[in-house]
Amino acid sequence: MNLLDSELRVIKAAERLAAGLGDDPNHTVAAAAMDTSGRIHEAVNVYHFTGGPCAELVVLGAAAAAGAGPLVTIAAAGDRSRGLIPPCGRCLQALLDIHPDVMVAVPTDDGPAMRPIRELLPDAYFFPDADARRIVRFHQRYYEDIVTGRKTSTVRYDDPIAPGPAIFLFEDDEAHRTLNGTVTGVERHRFDRLTAAQARLDGGEGIDQFKANLRGHYPDLPSDAEVDIVTFTVEAPDAVQ
């Protein structure tokens, strides 16, 4: 699996912490989570017959205590060389409600993979009062275009983005740059009928080339797929928290 360097760092942090747990029966799983500033927060579970919290829940509290804000990536690993382990159902629900844009590390036959939390808990109840701050991800190469206002829209497939304020995260950026932004609109169009005007092309790129580039980003994109045209604005960098 092709993982970002930042994602690998989170997985390795969880595995490293798990390897040091030894034979303590009260602490058997370690978790690590990265926030939007690139900090990694670590914690272990509290195993107890009363239902002590999983490592993923403990790391959410540790990150909140450190003023982390929304989390970008999370991973958990078991002691005694059990390696990467997926979250339980309770942890998945908490992650979906509190950090709805987090990527979760899971083991697969081909090695570790990252999954959006919504894919791990489809058709789930969403707690409406969680008041989670949203994240919109971009490739780091778009930072200059977005911060200068040259890029004010993006096209997404199977990546739900809601209107409203969000942190714009530039993935695997060594400086961990973010921008405070606002998603101003989301329009859905069929991919094979998408026009240059709908895609917000400024004339420098033809619609055919645009669609070819989009297929390069989404190799499994079917012709009759519905894609979202997302428009947005951003604040000046000195306003970013």
Distances (CA, A) of 97 to 101, 164, 191, 208: 10, 17, 30, 39
Residue from 188, 202, 191 nearest 152 by CA: 202
Catalytic status, residue 144: no
Two tokens at 64?
A: 């909140």
Two tokens at 240?
A: 């970013």
Catalytic pick among 15, 56, 119, 144: 56
Cβ neighbours of 197 (radius 10 Å): 8
- Separation CA 16–CA 43 (nearest Å): 12
- Separation CA 145–CA 158 (nearest Å): 24
* Three-point CA angle 158, 10, 134, nearest 5°: 40
Residue indicated by tokens 């844009």: 101
Burial 91-104 (b: 16+ CB within 10 A, else e): bbbbbbbbbbbbbb
> Taking the mean position of all CA atoms in its chain, how far away is CA 58?
19
Two tokens at 31?
A: 């978790």
Catalytic residues: 56
